[in-house]
Chains A and B, each alone.
Chain A
Amino acid sequence: MPPLTHYLALSAMLFAIGTMGVFLRRNVITILLSIEIMLNAVNLSFVAFGRYLGTIDGQIIVFFVITVAAAEAAVGLALVIALFRHRETLNPDAFTSLRW
C-alpha cells in the first residue's frame, strides 16, 4: 500500500489543476468542471485519511460532499443558462455589469 503522503500529494495535484482551470479558462462551463475536480481532490483526501485512521467517517463526509456537488451543479448550470440567455456568450469576462 502506498504511503498516505502519496495520496495527499495526488490530491494536492488534482486540487492545483482544478484551481488552474478556474483561473485560466474563459468558459463558465469549464470553470464549473474545474470546481468539480477540486471537490474530487478533497474527496480523495477524506477517503485516504479515513482509511489511514481506520474509521468510516471519511466516507460519510464524501457522501455529503457529493450531495453538495450535485446541488451546486444544478444551481450553477441554471445560472449558466440564465446568463447565456442574456448575453449569448459563456465568457465570464462579458458578465461585468450587475444589472442590464
Chain B
Amino acid sequence: MLFYLFGAAAVAASLMVIGQRNPMYSVLFLIASFAALAGLYVLLDAPFVAVIQIIIYAGAIMVLFLFVVMLLNAPQEDISRVRVMVAPSTRRIGALLVVVLLAELAWALATAGEREVWVSAEGLPEGESSVRALGLTLFRDYAFAFEVTSVLILVAMLGAVVLAKREL
C-alpha cells in the first residue's frame, strides 16, 4: 500500500531530522520528508497542494534554511553545553503533561475507530479542474484572507531585512 510506504518514509526522514547533529543533513532529510508528504497529498486527491509542497516548501523555504546554515558555518552542535538548571518539580509537571497528552491521543484514536466512510471522489473535481475549483474558492470565498496574507508577507519581509541588518 502506497500510504504506508510514504508514511513510513515521512516518519523515518523526520526522525533523522531530529537525530542529526549537523543541521545541513537535517535540512536535507527534511526535504525527503516533504517529498513523502507530497506523495501522500497526491493519494488524497490534492495535486495542487503536492506541487506547492515541492516547489515552495522543499524548493524555496528549505533553500533559505540551507543558505543560513552555510552562511553561519557552525555545523556541529555544542557538546559542552551551557546547562540551564531545571527544577525537579518542573520536570514532574512536564512528565505529567506528556502522560496526559499520550492518554488523550490514544483515547481520540481509539474512539474514532476504523471509519471507512470517505466521501466518494465523484463530488470532488479531479486533476486540472481541481486546481480550477481551488482557485475559484480562494479568490471568491477567501479573497479577504488572501489579501491579508499579502500584508503578512510584507511585514515578514520588512522584519527580516530590519533584523538581519548589521546595525539596528
Q: Which residues of A pack against B, CB within 8 Å?
A: 1-10, 12-14, 17-18, 20-21, 24-27, 29-30, 32-34, 36-37, 40, 43-44, 47-48, 50-54, 56-57, 59-60, 62-64, 66-75, 77-82, 84-85, 89-91, 93-94, 96
Question: Is B128 close to A, CB under 8 A?
Answer: no
Residues of A within 8 A of B81 (CB): 26, 91, 93
Give 29 CB contacts A-B under 8 Å.
A1-B3, A1-B43, A2-B1, A4-B112, A5-B109, A5-B113, A6-B3, A10-B11, A14-B10, A17-B15, A26-B77, A29-B23, A29-B69, A30-B77, A36-B61, A44-B40, A47-B40, A47-B41, A47-B46, A51-B46, A52-B118, A63-B49, A67-B149, A70-B61, A71-B152, A78-B164, A82-B164, A90-B72, A96-B84
Proximity string of chain B (49-81) to chain A, C-beta cutoff 8 Å, 1 when within and 0 when not: 100110011001100110011011010011001
Task: Say whether A74 contacts B109, CB under 8 Å.
Answer: no
Residues of A within 8 A of B37 (CB): 40, 43-44
Per the bound structure, the CA–CA distance linking A84 and B52 in Å amounts to 31
CB contact list, B110-140 vs A, under 8 A: 112-116, 118-120, 123-125, 130, 133-134, 137-138
Whether A84 touches B137, Cβ cut-off 8 Å, given contacts A29-B65, A62-B49, A75-B156, is no
Task: Say whether A69 contacts B118, CB under 8 Å.
Answer: no
Task: Say whether B23 contacts A27, CB under 8 Å.
Answer: yes
Q: A44, A47, A85, A96: which has the most chain B beta carbons within 10 Å? A: A47
For chain A, what secondary structure do more than half of its interface residues adopt (helix, strand, loop), or is it mixed? helix
**Of the residues B68, B130, B156, contact of A56 by C-beta under 8 Å:** B130
- Closest chain-B Cβ to A32's Cβ sits at a distance in Å of 7
